Amino acid sequence: MNDFKERIAAELIAVRERSLAYTEADDELLVRQHSPLMSPLVWDLAHVGNYEELWVLREAAGIDPVRPEIDDIYDAFKTPRKDRPSLPFLGPAEARRYIEGVRGRVLDVLDRIDLENASPLHRDGFVFGLVIQHEHQHDETMLATLQLSGQPGLVRDAALPPGRDAGPEEVYVPAGGFLMGTDTLPWAYDNERPAHWVDLPGYWIDRLPVGNRAYAAFIEDGGYDDPRWWTPEGWRWRQNTGAKGPLFWENDGRSWWRTRFGRTEPVPMDEPVQHVCWYEADAYARWAGKRLPTEAEWEKACGWDPSERRARRYPWGEADPGPSLANLGHRAARPAPLGAYPDGASAYGAEQMVGDVWEWTGSWFQPYPGFRSFPYKEYSEVFFGQEYRVLRGGSWAADPAAVRTTFRNWDYPIRRQIFTGFRCARSELV
């Protein structure tokens, strides 16, 4: 195998180790549904194997189905998450056997194929990138399921760099065009393409994500009881849910506590806030006299290099995201303190844009001009419209393989179990 194939094989092995680590619990825990919002963990596990079989073995390599009778069970569109517990899904032992069998053949395919070959699924190892990123995304979903379950055990305590006073609260992004999206990153999804010029007026964007201290000040200022800060739908959400703060937060009358993978601890005031929905982020921003950044504003502040006039792969440039640049890959099960990554700053000086928490933007998930679905409509196209808000940047639970300045994630505006926070922006006064 050549170097590139070796790297793909290493990524395949690493992501599988991760999936298996999240599904080591007893069988009962794996087959149980912890929340109607989520699948049983063992469903996610076999689903990633089934996806890999469909795309690498059947579509790309033309190999006959291993177990065609289970396709419907693992088709996310045939059964919504809430109905998945009633499916005849594979049990834990069988699921592990199935995905291992698929993986063995996938490595054979990798060994055989010509990555310089013309087929769009194979070019630059695209189909392998597809399944590696897909599995990492499901791993992050499994972590959210585990967090909701309240089960202990997934706190990882790798030391994170200390926070620091990072200077002025906002950075200024001068008016001008930038290239949004990509034509060249080989593993980018269809929704990140094509690259296109976007012209923006000057604006200010927060240097750092909104922290727990600032968010607690919003709550303590009566932010959850004042309809002025909320959109009508947001206010309805607030009233129907009775929410008083981020998910997993509690106030004992004296201070704020949070529960994280089964441990209850004081809310660390110097960390980015997480587990807030879009409505909460939007209300906070209005209270602060600001607004959420549009997706284009977010991407320009994160990835554009105005002196080179080109887009960077990461805010700091092209270097891989090592532990001094960003908090990714579940090294610790938490966001890093504010100001922890001065070397990870973007060209405009914005920090912690990649890693720590996904960030809500003010934009709906919509296609870029010239969008073409690839390799299938159900990855992105069926979600376009005014139903999902775009999330950017990647959380502490996102893997570097599925993070870049152009990467787009999306979810319903009510979602809070995901590892999501936000930063604010405001238009230049003219």
Contact status: 122 vs ligand AVJ (CB under 6 A): no
Taking CB under 6 A as the binding criterion, the range among 20-28, 130-138, 304-312, 348-356 that sits at the site for ligand AVJ is 130-138
Both tokens of 126, joined, read: 């695209």
Taking CB under 6 A as the binding criterion, the range among 21-29, 58-66, 133-141, 286-294 that sits at the site for ligand AVJ is 133-141
Name the strand (E) or helix (H) holding 177: strand 176-180
Comparing CB distances to ligand AVJ, the nearer of 148 and 288 is 148
Comparing CB distances to ligand AVJ, the nearer of 137 and 373 is 137
Closest CA to 282 of 114, 425, 183, 79: 425
275 annotated to a ligand binding site: no
Contact status: 405 vs ligand AVJ (CB under 6 A): no
34 annotated to a ligand binding site: no
How many residues touch ligand AVJ under the rule CB under 6 A: the total is 6
Comparing CB distances to ligand AVJ, the nearer of 51 and 256 is 51
Comparing CB distances to ligand AVJ, the nearer of 141 and 327 is 141
Comparing CB distances to ligand AVJ, the nearer of 50 and 149 is 50
Distance CA 282, CA 284 (A): 6
Both tokens of 307, joined, read: 């002196």
Binding mask 355-394 for ligand AVJ (x = CB under 6 A): ----------------------------------------
84 annotated to a ligand binding site: yes
Closest CA to 395 of 327, 349, 318: 327
Give residue number: closest CB to ligand AVJ: 137
Comparing CB distances to ligand AVJ, the nearer of 90 and 219 is 90
Give the CA-trace dihedral at 417, 418, 423, 426, to 10 degrees. -80
Contact status: 409 vs ligand AVJ (CB under 6 A): yes
Cα 66–77–22 angle (5° rounding)? 65
Comparing CB distances to ligand AVJ, the nearer of 192 and 206 is 192
Distance CA 10, CA 228 (A): 52
Contact status: 278 vs ligand AVJ (CB under 6 A): no
221 annotated to a ligand binding site: no
First to last CA, the chain: 59
Number of DSSP helices (H) and strands (E) in the chain, helices first: 9, 14
Distance CA 411, CA 383 (A): 9
Both tokens of 72, joined, read: 């419907």
389-392 and 409-411 beta bridge pairing: antiparallel
Contact status: 193 vs ligand AVJ (CB under 6 A): no
Contact status: 417 vs ligand AVJ (CB under 6 A): no
Residue with tokens 């996102």: 398
Taking CB under 6 A as the binding criterion, the range among 1-9, 137-145, 203-211, 338-346 that sits at the site for ligand AVJ is 137-145
Contact status: 137 vs ligand AVJ (CB under 6 A): yes
Binding-site member from 39, 141, 352, 395 for ligand AVJ (CB under 6 A) = 141
**C-beta separation of 351 from 324 below 8 A:** no
Distance CA 316, CA 105 (A): 38
Both tokens of 223, joined, read: 């932010």
Residues that bind ligand AVJ (CB under 6 A): 134, 137-138, 141, 409-410
Residue numbers belonging to the annotated binding site = 47, 81-84, 134, 138, 411, 415
